Chains A and B, each alone.
Chain A
């Protein structure tokens, strides 16, 4: 199979990049291992306020529909339920449909593989019933399944509070939110109020001492500042922040740099979201963990960069668009993530380590 551009990952970043490219006449192929487009947006029922000017504030699943819908008039090939598993000697990408493996030859590759949730370990954290906050949201909003009846949330980010509220709405009793620091981690005060109004207790300066249960989680010992509180639960949702998914970058031979704020190790890239492998671009959380606006905008920036390289966008229009997308990114991305991104890009020309391998 041949294509002009292969996008690995059909989430928000991959879809906005596809729109930039397909609307300018490029032949785009999107590969995603899931059976639907939109990535993790599909189960997000919360309102997403900060979005690029081309998009109104809307719920995540509606944004997924919009991003998919706006591609329907263009030549985009979808390989859903497919995975990238390696690289052929001639540079073709090895793709599997879980039965056969076949090569896909592309002029440019855009990696938008997103992020994975980190675990928070404590004794017996592997017991069934202990799941990530994202898994809980997927069960409730995509699969329409109650993940449990009595739950504890470990961590208090905006995402954790969104999901805590959504769990409550379907009838899960949230027994508390455990936070290791002294204050709520979430930036959005409205979300904090929403959860507090429902009477959910926050346990600050606290952590999970141990999970208990035979075959599945039955109780949690919470280490408070002044003693231990045992809660009977059948569900524990872990909010352990996220790390970029890097497998494809290893295989493509990209070099990496470290930015704590952006999720740790991420590929080196320049302001066009081009890696040191000249035909490999990246976007979204794979280029550093950030907010929804950044996922879309980084997709748009890398999309127009490929357009320029493949001569479907003239130099002046490209420069102007790049500038305006970067300006929006500066306005909409959280300050600390923005600064880390700028630092990361500055290091592109002088990477600290070359040809490294991390895993």
Chain B
């Protein structure tokens, strides 16, 4: 849920944007991070851990723990707590190791 009227800081959410998670459209606001935008829409599970295949989501929100890695606009392993949401962004969960060597990267 978005906090439309904050008790101390007032009405800060002014510029709405649309983004997509798993093909479905959601609403967020421009100054929010990708992680915050997902949580506002009730999505907490951002991916799976490699070894034990357990659910992972936001933990530190400081860019330190890397628990919030997701794929954003085709780029793998993006720290969603350090990335701002933008109009039309396509976000997908981090379910397996990304392909790090590919024709796309010229390797």
Partners in one complex: yes
Closest A residue, CB atoms, query B13: A144
Name the A residues within 8 Å of B44 (CB-CB): 128-129, 216
| Chain B CB within 8 A of A85 CB | no
**Residue from A34, A132, A169 within 8 A of B59 (CB atoms):** A132
Residue contact A117 to B6, C-beta cutoff 8 Å: no
Interface residue tally of chain A, by bracket? 35 or more
Closest B residue, CB atoms, query A116: B64
Residue contact B82 to A216, C-beta cutoff 8 Å: no
Kindly supply a per-residue 1/0 record for chain A positions 122-151, scoring 1 wherever the CB is within 8 Å of any chain B CB and 0 otherwise: 000011111110110011111111110000
| Chain A CB within 8 A of B95 CB | no
| Chain B CB within 8 A of A330 CB | no
Name the A residues within 8 Å of B65 (CB-CB): 116, 119
Residue contact A116 to B60, C-beta cutoff 8 Å: yes
**Residue from B3, B31, B46, B60 within 8 A of A140 (CB atoms):** B3
Residue contact B63 to A145, C-beta cutoff 8 Å: no
A169 to B7, CA, bound (A): 7
Given A129-B44, A170-B3: A144 and B60 interface contact (C-beta under 8 Å)? no
Chain B nearest Cβ from A16, distance in angstroms: 21
Residue contact A146 to B3, C-beta cutoff 8 Å: yes
**Residue from A134, A216, A245 within 8 A of B61 (CB atoms):** A134
| Chain B CB within 8 A of A35 CB | yes
Residue contact B1 to A146, C-beta cutoff 8 Å: yes
Residue contact A135 to B61, C-beta cutoff 8 Å: yes
| Chain B CB within 8 A of A33 CB | yes
Chain B nearest Cβ from A216, distance in angstroms: 5
Residue contact B61 to A144, C-beta cutoff 8 Å: no
**Residue from B2, B7, B46, B64 within 8 A of A145 (CB atoms):** B2
| Chain A CB within 8 A of B50 CB | no
Name the A residues within 8 Å of B82 (CB-CB): 33-34
Name the A residues within 8 Å of B9 (CB-CB): 45, 61, 141, 144
Name the B residues within 8 Å of A138 (CB-CB): 36, 61-62
Kindly supply a per-residue 1/0 record for chain B positions 1-34, scoring 1 wherever the CB is within 8 Å of any chain A CB and 0 otherwise: 1111011110011000000000000000101110
Name the A residues within 8 Å of B84 (CB-CB): 35
| Chain A CB within 8 A of B40 CB | yes
A245 to B11, CA, bound (A): 34
Within 8 A of B (CB), among A174-205: none
Residue contact A128 to B6, C-beta cutoff 8 Å: no
Residue contact A215 to B55, C-beta cutoff 8 Å: yes
Residue contact B59 to A135, C-beta cutoff 8 Å: yes
Name the B residues within 8 Å of A245 (CB-CB): 64
Given A143-B32, A145-B39, A245-B64: A127 and B1 interface contact (C-beta under 8 Å)? no
Can you list 16 A-B contacts (CB < 8 A)?
A: A34-B82, A116-B65, A119-B59, A119-B65, A128-B44, A128-B56, A131-B59, A131-B60, A134-B60, A139-B36, A139-B39, A141-B8, A144-B13, A170-B3, A215-B45, A216-B57
State the A residues within 8 Å of B (CB). 33-35, 40, 45, 59, 61, 116-117, 119, 126-132, 134-135, 138-147, 166, 169-170, 215-216, 245
